[in-house]
Amino acid sequence: MNIGVLGCGNVGAALIQLVSSSADEIEGRTGLRLEVTRVAVRSLSKERDVELPAKVFTTDASEVVNDPAVDLVVEVIGGIEPARQLVLDALAAGKPVVTANKELIANHGTELFAASDDAGVDLLFEAAVAGGVPFIRPLRESLVGEDVSRVMGIVNGTTNYILTKMTEEGWTYAEALAEAQSLGYAERDPTADVEGFDAGAKAAIIATIAFGKKVVAGDVSHEGIADISATDIAFANRLGYQIKLLGIAEQFEDESIAVRVHPAMVPDQHPLASVRDSFNAIFLEGEAVGELMFFGRGAGGFPTASAVLGDTVDAAANLAKATHASLGTFAKAKIRTIDDLHYRYYLNLEVSDRPGVLAAVANLFGKHAVSIHSMEQDSLVSDESSSARDAGLARLIFITHEAKESDVRATLHELRDLEAVNSIGSVLRVIENPD
């Protein structure tokens, strides 16, 4: 089984090494011998940590796709074009495709799934959701009859690393981001990670496969972690929560689907609260199965290549049997916007420390039918709070009962206009413990 690999970067080079080191084992188990026979790269002069003859490499990716000796194509270039066209060309030529490209699947998945069905060959993308953590295959195979109601994932290792360091080391957001960049976890431009776009692409793929409806990256509402402060983390921890950036895909009884990415307060007892550093985890709730969690390395060359290799062996075995795993057709999902969702909320306000202010603030909550579960006045001893106290300010932390997002937004809008409110810090949604 000859494999053409498009891209030889972090994932591609690790995959080429894994194919070579595990070829005997795979042959013993499946009867198929995998060999990488063509590799497309951008530059032929770069040093690469792979043992392949120079003639295997080309800068023309379409040459790999169109090589009659290539049976199966792995796309690990990334981005939309030329990856999309190369994948379509490979499928049209009857070659199964394995990709790790979340951006491509989240934006053009249904077009590519249809092309794979038309051609009768596999398009597999396990690594596009949580790197090395198997989730798509369990979801499509083990859980095929399951009525999945909600999937919540920590699917971006960079932001989980930043939040972990802020929590455990007391670092500021900027310090934690700088360290993530120096370790190579975060890009020099960290927007895709910290603003939630990367997690949003993954959440769209999860929603599509979990609910069998077309959800694209543009359907996902995003909030990132850049505004999370040390104060938020300290209060969350004291109240028994960890702050995590979650991608959440949920289906309601009317079959509408909500997909969003935002930081959330996760109770200490919840399995997702213990997911630290750059690890990923996906927590699934299903009617019959109850709760499941998948945990592991969501990024890195070898963990990601491990998932790509699993897909490659699967696709090769299906090709040998002249079969493929159909993804079916996907109708456009009815999207429920975040405004219509209900949560408990954490709100952090800095107000004038004088009589009557609390009543005025509480009055606004009441006006918008947002009922308060608990309230605390600042008692944290920190430099920030003592300087605020000197300025005649106090911090009020509210946790609400379950309220509608649009009502909370309306409350915040009016709170901003209240003369006694100096500033409004983070507004975080609170996740409940599993039943």
Ligand X SMILES: NC(=O)c1ccc[n+]([C@@H]2O[C@H](COP(=O)([O-])OP(=O)(O)OC[C@H]3O[C@@H](n4cnc5c(N)ncnc54)[C@H](OP(=O)(O)O)[C@@H]3O)[C@@H](O)[C@H]2O)c1
Name the residue among 123, 127, 165, 151 with its Cα closest to residue 299.
127
Contact in structure between 187 and 193 (CB atoms under 8 Å): yes
- Report the nearest approach of ligand X to the CB of residue 103 (Å): 6
Q: Which one is catalytic: 95, 165, 202, 214?
A: 202
Binding-site size, ligand X (CB under 6 A): 25
* Dist. CA 275–CA 285, nearest whole Å: 17
Q: Please identify, using beta-carbon distances, which residue of 60 and 141 lies nearer to ligand X.
A: 60
Residue 100 interacts with ligand X (CB under 6 A): yes or no: yes
- Report the nearest approach of ligand X to the CB of residue 15 (Å): 9
Q: Please identify, using beta-carbon distances, which residue of 108 and 270 lies nearer to ligand X.
A: 108
* Dist. CA 435–CA 421, nearest whole Å: 37
Residues numbered 26-85 forming contacts with ligand X, rule: CB under 6 A: 40-43, 46, 61, 76-78, 82
Which of these segments, 213-221, 298-306, 341-349, 423-431, binds ligand X (CB under 6 A)?
298-306
Single out the residue of 1, 10, 351, 357 in contact with ligand X (rule: CB under 6 A). 10
Residue 217 interacts with ligand X (CB under 6 A): yes or no: no
Contacts of 310 (CB under 8 A, 6+ apart): 126, 134, 137
Tell me the two tokens of residue 125: 């993308």
Contacts of 159 (CB under 8 A, 6+ apart): 193, 194, 196, 199, 224, 225, 245
Single out the residue of 4, 12, 153, 200 in contact with ligand X (rule: CB under 6 A). 12
Contact in structure between 4 and 57 (CB atoms under 8 Å): no
* Dist. CA 200–CA 194, nearest whole Å: 11
Tell me the two tokens of residue 321: 């049997």
Contacts of 25 (CB under 8 A, 6+ apart): none
Residue 18 interacts with ligand X (CB under 6 A): yes or no: no
Residue 109 interacts with ligand X (CB under 6 A): yes or no: no
* Dist. CA 68–CA 74, nearest whole Å: 15
Q: If 0-12 CB within 10 Å is exposed, 13-18 middle and 19+ buried, where does residue 332 land? A: exposed
Q: Please identify, using beta-carbon distances, which residue of 11 and 26 lies nearer to ligand X.
A: 11
- Report the nearest approach of ligand X to the CB of residue 53 (Å): 17
Residue 385 interacts with ligand X (CB under 6 A): yes or no: no
Nearest residue to ligand X, by Cβ distance, number only: 9
Q: Please identify, using beta-carbon distances, which residue of 76 and 115 lies nearer to ligand X.
A: 76
Is 202 catalytic? The answer is: yes
Q: Please identify, using beta-carbon distances, which residue of 76 and 266 lies nearer to ligand X.
A: 76
Residues numbered 304-343 forming contacts with ligand X, rule: CB under 6 A: 304
Contact in structure between 194 and 225 (CB atoms under 8 Å): yes
Contact in structure between 420 and 394 (CB atoms under 8 Å): no
Contact in structure between 1 and 72 (CB atoms under 8 Å): yes
Name the residue among 320, 403, 421 with its Cα closest to residue 367.
403
* Orientation angle between helical segments 301-320 and 10-30, nearest 10 degrees: 40
Q: Please identify, using beta-carbon distances, which residue of 41 and 87 lies nearer to ligand X.
A: 41
- Report the nearest approach of ligand X to the CB of residue 354 (Å): 52
* Dist. CA 274–CA 411, nearest whole Å: 33
- Report the nearest approach of ligand X to the CB of residue 279 (Å): 13
Q: Please identify, using beta-carbon distances, which residue of 4 and 425 lies nearer to ligand X.
A: 4
Residue 267 interacts with ligand X (CB under 6 A): yes or no: no
Contact in structure between 71 and 3 (CB atoms under 8 Å): yes
Residue type at 194 in one-letter notation: V
- Report the nearest approach of ligand X to the CB of residue 122 (Å): 18
Single out the residue of 7, 224, 286, 296 in contact with ligand X (rule: CB under 6 A). 7
Residues numbered 342-371 forming contacts with ligand X, rule: CB under 6 A: none
Contact in structure between 224 and 426 (CB atoms under 8 Å): no
Name the residue among 135, 114, 112, 187 with its Cα closest to residue 157.
187
Q: Please identify, using beta-carbon distances, which residue of 157 and 224 lies nearer to ligand X.
A: 157
Single out the residue of 70, 71, 101, 119 in contact with ligand X (rule: CB under 6 A). 101
- Report the nearest approach of ligand X to the CB of residue 271 (Å): 22
Tell me the two tokens of residue 239: 């109240």
Residue 296 interacts with ligand X (CB under 6 A): yes or no: no
Residue 129 interacts with ligand X (CB under 6 A): yes or no: no
- Report the nearest approach of ligand X to the CB of residue 308 (Å): 8
Q: Please identify, using beta-carbon distances, which residue of 245 and 361 lies nearer to ligand X.
A: 245
Residue type at 167 in one-letter notation: T
Single out the residue of 1, 16, 18, 127 in contact with ligand X (rule: CB under 6 A). 127
* Dist. CA 335–CA 253, nearest whole Å: 13
Single out the residue of 4, 96, 109, 131 in contact with ligand X (rule: CB under 6 A). 131
Give the residue numbers marked as catalytic: 202
Binding site for ligand X (CB under 6 A): 6-12, 40-43, 46, 61, 76-78, 82, 100-102, 127, 131, 299-300, 304
